Amino acid sequence: MTDAARTLLVACVLSAAAATMFVLRLRRLDPESPERRIGELRAANAAALVLAATGAATIGFSVANAAAATAALEMALAFFFVGAAGLMFFREPRQALLIATAALLEHAVLDLAHRPGWLSTDLYPRWYLIACAVYDGYMAAVCFLARRPR
């Protein structure tokens, strides 16, 4: 395992743990309290940053491996996720968290689509796609749980 892979693994584990702890504390608050709504806004903003970083990583891989067969398609799809992250800042927190949930699940599905060969695996290290799909799925669940019940 390379140093870069170790660093990415530690960053993902720590960010997932921090998000989990934040959401667990958030869910204990009264759903109608101002603290809960502020917490949802913070969770939505953090989720937007995670989604933008996910899209930016794909753009980086596409630029670095521009000769790959699906590099242009991958880059176009990545801009969808960056755009969704930007949209989240203009939505009510509950709706923004739902956008994050859907977009992260969509990204996980795209990551998994590389494994059966539907999309090229030339852009990414072999381990990256599965790790990213697991992280995206987990963070989607965290975003969904952060939403205030109706």
- Which residues, at least 6 apart from 131, have a Cβ–Cβ distance to it below 8 Å? 8, 9, 12
Our measurement of the distance from residue 97's CA atom to the centroid of its chain's CA atoms, rounded to an integer in Å, reads: 11
**Alpha-carbon radius of gyration of the chain:** 16
C-alpha 80/C-alpha 132 separation (Å) is: 17
Give the model confidence (pLDDT) of 59-77 as tens digits: 998 898 888 788 888 899 9
pLDDT digit string, tens, across residues 37-67: 999 999 999 999 999 999 999 999 889 888 8
**HSE toward the beta carbon, residue 23, CA cutoff 13 A:** 22
d(CA 11, CA 14): 5
